[in-house]
Amino acid sequence: MLEGSCLCGTVQYRTEAQPMITGHCYCIDCRKSSGTSHCTHVMVPQDGLTMTGDVKLYERPADSGNIVSRGFCPDCGSPVFSTNSAFAGMVILRASSLDNPDAVEPEMAVYASRAPGWAKIDETKPVFPEMPPGGPDRVIEERSE
């Protein structure tokens, strides 16, 4: 069970789905939207995810050209989730919004070439300088084989 919310509690979510993938992203958009060196994302199926409260969306094309929609609380500004046009039916939760951040373990780091020099990247997990060939879909496929 994953549960989380924004800082003020207006936006809340819950899912019983297991994460498809969890990882750190050091791309410029993730750095700027998080206010730190990276975002930690938890990809889950949209089916079974319940969310309460209104969110404001900010849409922007990713490096790939896919449209990323970032959902945040319009009251406190906390980023809560995103969607990516390449991953229909998936929601990418911000691990920072989880009530129990230890419920997930990052499996990889992407766009590590864009990390600031002071960022501590866990070299015991797969680290990709950009997005891995085939993107997260490829990683998910390899895990299920």
pLDDT digits (tens, 9 = 90+) for 78-100: 999 999 988 889 999 999 999 99
Question: What's the rounded mean pLDDT across residues 128-138?
Answer: 76
Q: Give the domain extent around 140.
A: 2-144
* Region at 135 (left for phi over 0; alpha for psi -120 to 50; beta for the rest): left
| 33 three-class SS | helix
Residue keyed to tokens 């990390």: 115
The pLDDT assigned to 87 comes to 87
| pLDDT higher than threshold 80 for residue 104 | yes
Helix ranges (DSSP H) in the chain: 28-34, 135-144
**Number of domains, the chain:** 1
CATH number of the domain where residue 88 is located: 3.90.1590.10
User: Cα-Cα-Cα-Cα dihedral of 64, 93, 23, 111, to 10°?
Assistant: 30
| pLDDT higher than threshold 80 for residue 59 | yes
Report residue 145's pLDDT band, with 50, 70 and 90 as the boundaries. low
Report residue 64's pLDDT band, with 50, 70 and 90 as the boundaries. confident
| 118 three-class SS | coil
- Strand ordering across the sheet containing 79-84: 56-61, 67-72, 79-84, 90-94, 39-45, 21-25, 108-110
| pLDDT higher than threshold 60 for residue 143 | no
pTM: 0.88
